[in-house]
Amino acid sequence: MADQIPLYPVRGAAAVASRKRAAYYSAAGPGAERPGRFQLEDESAHLDEMPLMMSEEGFENDESDYHTLPRARILQRKRGLEWFVCGGWKFLCTSCCDWLINICQRKRELKARTVWLGYPEKCEEKHPRNSIKNQKYNVFTFIPGVLYEQFKFFLNLYFLIVSCSQFVPALKIGYLYTYWAPLGFVLAVTIVREAVDEFRRFQRDKEVNSQLYSKLTVRGKVQVKSSDIQVGDLIIVEKNQRIPSDMVFLRTSEKAGSCFIRTDQLDGETDWKLKVAVSCTQRLPALGEDSDPPVHESLSIENTLWASTIVASGTVIGVVIYTGKETRSVMNTSNPKNKVGLLDLELNQLTKALFLALVALSLVMVTLQGFVGPWYRNLFRFLLLFSYIIPISLRVNLDMGKAAYGWMIMRDENIPGTVVRTSTIPEELGRLVYLLTDKTGTLTQNEMIFKRLHLGTVSYGTDTMDEIQSHVMNSYSQMYSQASGNNANSTPPRKAQSSAPKVRKSVSSRVHEAVKAIALCHNVTPVYEARAGVTGETEYAEVDQDFSDENRTYQASSPDEVALVQWTESVGLTLVNRDLTSMQLRTPGGQILTYCILQMFPFTSESKRMGVIVRDEATAEITFYMKGADVAMSTIVQYNDWLEEECGNMAREGLRTLVVAKRALTEEQYQDFESRYSQAKLSVHDRMLKVAAVVESLEREMELLCLTGVEDQLQADVRPTLEMLRNAGIKIWMLTGDKLETATCIAKSSHLVSRTQDIHTFRPVTSRGEAHLELNAFRRKHDCALVISGDSLEVCLRYYEHELAELACQCPAVVCCRCSPTQKARIVKLLQQRTGKRTCAIGDGGNDVSMIQAADCGIGIEGKEGKQASLAADFSITQFKHIGRLLMVHGRSSYKRSAALGQFVMHRGLIISTMQAVFSSVFYFASVPLYQGFLMVGYATIYTMFPVFSLVLDQDVKPEMAMLYPELYKDLTKGRSLSFKTFLVWVLISIYQGIGRVSFGAFLDVAFITTVTFLWKVSAITVVSCLPLYVLKYLKRKLSPPSYSKLTS
């Protein structure tokens, strides 16, 4: 209950406040009345009463009634006229639109379906096509969609209305082409650009949808495109081929009846997952034969093959169950949105301010005119005359600039292979505050290397592995020499060893035991590839026909496992064969050791350990081997004084640690365990708990063998790149689908979390009360990184979204593990809504697509996990380190150039409007244009294009300097390059120059232009217009120099 949940400790000085609070919370007892309008009955309601985001001082304040108000009451206060005016109307409109969309696009009711194997035409229901579609529009929605995206901006909508007004004779003040030509050019450029982008998406989708697969029919094998696959089709998928749809796994060419798949495109994990074929179809002697009598077999998650995963071993046959938008991978991705840059939104706000100035100026003119005649018509004519205050060329010039920025990014030799897929938001790269990154394949290469073996008294590193190899060779040579010289059986020695366990073993025997345990305790399967040019005579070749090392590859559900087995091979003990019941090791002398696998206990996120019971067929010894995380194994192994310290040392080095232990079992002990284990597995109620209890009965006083350290290779230059981004003021969050321990380890090794920072691991929470307590515990921490799992995150977002966002945003780094793709996208949206800052998401797998599309700026990496992320991203790079130059150099330059360009174009229009205002004032406020025809069109385009090009190519500091001093980037996030303050300066300059030019000679004829008088007058106008401004600019640089001035001097 809430009244039993402890909050912050109360100091003695706050005794009165403490009594008040105790009396308040004790009022929640049975039958008690709590003061206030709300009667709260359940625990969740009580939790609303409790001050979560509150310090100790809050309790000591006498006016603490605010903190104890129910959240519902605070929300009710906001529901009123003030709430409606301040944005409630927008919320209501959005809610109504969402409701209408949900009505129109009502989701299909989910229900069981009957699938006819090999006969898709017998399916009664209509299922979606199995095609991938990343396009925003289709043939019918392209033109309306593009026009809507353009005219939702005030700038374009305003000019559409102005252009349409010229069809009214009374309002016509110029030629039609002076208004329609610029507007038509803007729309044509936009439509062509969108059409090119859409065509490229269509080509990429067509490439994936056109992949060919073999389909089994009554006529034999038929080649079929991925997009033509239907529910019920029997599809053959070869090794290293993408699975086209969600299928049930019917048959495999592998002897064991199982295969491995890579799910990196689905969940970001490159660990291979084991899938098992349906036993009744795997046992069929040949395909196409009917089983008689009919077989009823239940299916599990192990019998499924998901779309967008890759077959890693053998050839599989599956029946298609879900296609297209009903597949798991598509349902885990969100629809792409049209991204609009923050700079465009800010310029849109400035154009609205200019429109208000335009209306005000027109009203002043009509007022000074005295409201004579049809004043409303004159008002509208003045609005048209001064319409150049809002320049339509702004969109054209900005789009030209964006195209130039994209061209520069793709031509940069320092970041080869970079592709700009969304050309409308290069300025976003210069405004980022939050960077959300994937782990696997983005920060890491997902290549594990064995680095350390610790035995308690001695530690071996990469430079002393040859000593381990010599110890292993000596142990096996002594063992076989003793075996050849002694004909006694192995049972008495085994009993002697177990009866005297306290005899101190030699280093050589301890190394041998540790290496053997690592070589046996795993789920790795060796696979032998056929040599090039050699064809197998049978479908299943015997493994013992070729043990050559170059033909052997290892498959496992974790790259850590593969790294450990490859290391044991390097020191002399090689895994050469494995099936469901046995394992074979090859010693340095070439002898084959066979072990019978009696029981397997797989790794789970709850147990954090895995184990195996094996019997040595040569000696009949039964041994229980176990390895796992130090937090799980420390209570299982015998007492020692070095494990905790060494685990901490290895973790600080960024190594992933595993504790390895063993326990020798007698035949009687094992038989007793097996009977209890079998009985527990047959239980109907609490089966998992009973099975776990039986296994735990073995996990007692196990002999600690060794501690291993494995390093996950980071991408090139990850550490300096992350340090550069932190110095630039960018907060980095790591969102991964991997385990908590792995994510924490990578966060340390990549220096995402610095060595001096503490890490707060958010404990697993399942209820609102637990989340409340854990958030309060996290509240007390200062300057520490947060590590939270996806399940706990879901609970906190459900009940305490605002509080979690507020606490997490204060952290220097956040690591979210076990995140689903939709959770990643939700975190991005949460940051956007709660902070209002610009976010960037970077990833390389299909599971990162939702996050990339939800972020303001999405960056994809072409890596081992495929191209799905890079194709869906706004920018595609080949290595993580390239993001540093992309942001520090190109992002910074793009933003500063576009900010100056946008204000210059507005300045250009303001000069003309100022001259028009002075001209109309001189001629008795007549609504007559100063310039007409092509002159105005030329002024907005050709005559003033050189300053535009110079701004697009402007450079305040060299790229090397911007990379060396990332602090320069931090200033951009404040938006000082484009603000109302800087814009006001430009407005004052425009007014000054406009008045100066029209006063010193705006009315010139052709004959006058050729005289000397014209030259000195033009010179005088230029000097008067520009010299004072340059003087002021020089003084400003001297008195208040910019941040980069010291670097350029």
Closest CA to 342 of 899, 849, 906: 899
Torsions phi, psi of 360, nearest 5? -65, -45
Catalytic residue among 438, 712, 856, 874: 438
Give CA separation, 239 vs 212, 248, 576, 834, in Å: 14, 17, 21, 46
Q: Is the dihedral of CA 909, 914, 917, 919 positive or negative?
A: negative
Alpha-helical (H) ranges within 760-891 are 768-779, 790-799, 801-809, 821-835, 849-854, 868-872, 882-885
Residue bearing tokens 């997490």:
808
Q: Report the greatest alpha carbon distance in the chain.
A: 127
The whole-angstrom separation of Cα 882 and Cα 860 is: 11
Sheet-wide strand order for 272-276:
272-276, 258-262, 310-311
Helix H or strand E encompassing 614: strand 609-616
Inter-residue contact 611 to 521 (CB < 8 Å): yes
The whole-angstrom separation of Cα 441 and Cα 738 is: 12
Torsions phi, psi of 239, nearest 5? -65, 140
The whole-angstrom separation of Cα 73 and Cα 54 is: 18
Closest CA to 851 of 300, 482, 438, 439: 438
The whole-angstrom separation of Cα 875 and Cα 886 is: 10
What count of residues does the chain have?
1049
Residue 648 contacts by C-beta under 8 Å, 6 or more apart in sequence? none
Inter-residue contact 784 to 718 (CB < 8 Å): no
The whole-angstrom separation of Cα 50 and Cα 71 is: 10
Closest CA to 42 of 572, 769, 712, 762: 769
Closest CA to 992 of 901, 931, 911: 911
Inter-residue contact 274 to 557 (CB < 8 Å): yes
What does DSSP say about strands 310-311 and 258-262: parallel, antiparallel, or unpaired?
antiparallel
| Cis upstream peptide for 293 (omega within 30°) | yes
Helix, strand, coil shares of the chain as percentages rounded to 5? 50, 15, 35
Please say if 438 is a catalytic residue. Answer: yes
- What positions carry a catalytic annotation? 438
